[in-house]
Each structure stands twice: as structure tokens, then as C-alpha cells.
Structure 1
Amino acid sequence: MRKATLKTRLFEFASERDIRSGNCSVHMKMTGWMSAQMRSVTQKGIAWQQPIEKGSVYWNVPILQVYLAFGADSDEYAAIVKDYLESLPKS
């Protein structure tokens, strides 16, 4: 079986509730304080988004995992953000 690369990875967005309950590919305890701290150092629209009608925060799960493992200033984080931006449809 081939190892998946970042280029083929699906960039899943999941709500904080789904992340806390394990209803997505990652499960972790995320408090409101942790979420606020992570939002202050990561890019809105890339690492997270907040639809107006729902009010809940949705995280880009692969980017969140790399951020938690390596930090926002790491080469790994910059690389996955670049890959995510390249995966978006071109208009």
C-alpha cells in the first residue's frame, strides 16, 4: 500500500464539538481557552473558519494536527498550508 502524501490528503474541516467527541479523524480535549489561543496564532480561512449563521468554529483537521505537533512557525506548518492552498480550486 502506498503512503499518502500531503498532495492527496483530504483537508477535512470539523467543528470543535466533533473534535471533542471524536466524530472526525482526530479526537482531543479542546477547551474554549485553547481554541481562542490557537485561533490567535493561526490563519482564519486556512486553519479555521467560523460561519456566521452557526457561530461554531470549524478547524482544518490536518492543519490543526501539524500545528499542534510542530507549531505555527515550523517548516512543516508552512508546507501543509502551502499544500492546502494549492489544493483549492483555481478560479
Structure 2
Amino acid sequence: FVLAALPLLTASSAAGQADIVRQVGSVTTDAGSVVIKNVAGGITYSRKLTFLPDGQLLVTERSGSLRILDPNTGSLTNPPAGPPTVFAQGQGGLLDVALPPRL
């Protein structure tokens, strides 16, 4: 469940990628069970994420970094062309990411 994953992206450490993807808990709600997994390390102040058609995620960081996350392996890469320079002070920073509807 994506909402459960986002805080763990922010709170995760920079440990080795092989140790990153693991279940850390689960929650049962009226709508069903949610499995909580730590899926990446080395992300600082994640803001938003969106799924790519191949199942990977684009993750924004407040500092202006845009990362591609493979949730199955925990690997992080930088896209070929990143965002422009970002003013990341106070409430500022890279806030959101969206894909065109027909990507």
C-alpha cells in the first residue's frame, strides 16, 4: 500500500540495498489488511511519488532530487534528465510529480 510505504522511504537508512526490501509490519483495517514494507534506503525528505507504467516509482525529494525506485529490489537511480534547480528552503522544495495520462 503506497501510503504506508512513503513514510518508510523517508525514515529508511542508507544500509545496503540487499537488506532494504523487507516486511516491517501489517495493519488490519475494515477495508482489509495492509502490509508495511521498507522498500528503500538513502532517500532524504521524500515528498511525493508516482508509479511508472513498468511498476517502478518516481520519488521526489525536498532538495530537488528526482529518483527512480524499483520497489522489488530497493535500487535507486537518477533519471536521464532531472528537474531544474529547486529553491529548497523553508516551505520550498520539489513538491510533486505527475505523469501525462497517456504515458
Same fold by TM-score greater than 0.5: no
More helix, by proportion? 1
Q: Which has the larger radius of gyration?
A: 2
Q: Give the TM-score, by structure 2 length.
A: 0.27
Q: Give the TM-score of the pair, scaled to structure 1.
A: 0.29
For CA contacts below 8 A with separation 6 or more, give which structure has more relative contact order: 1
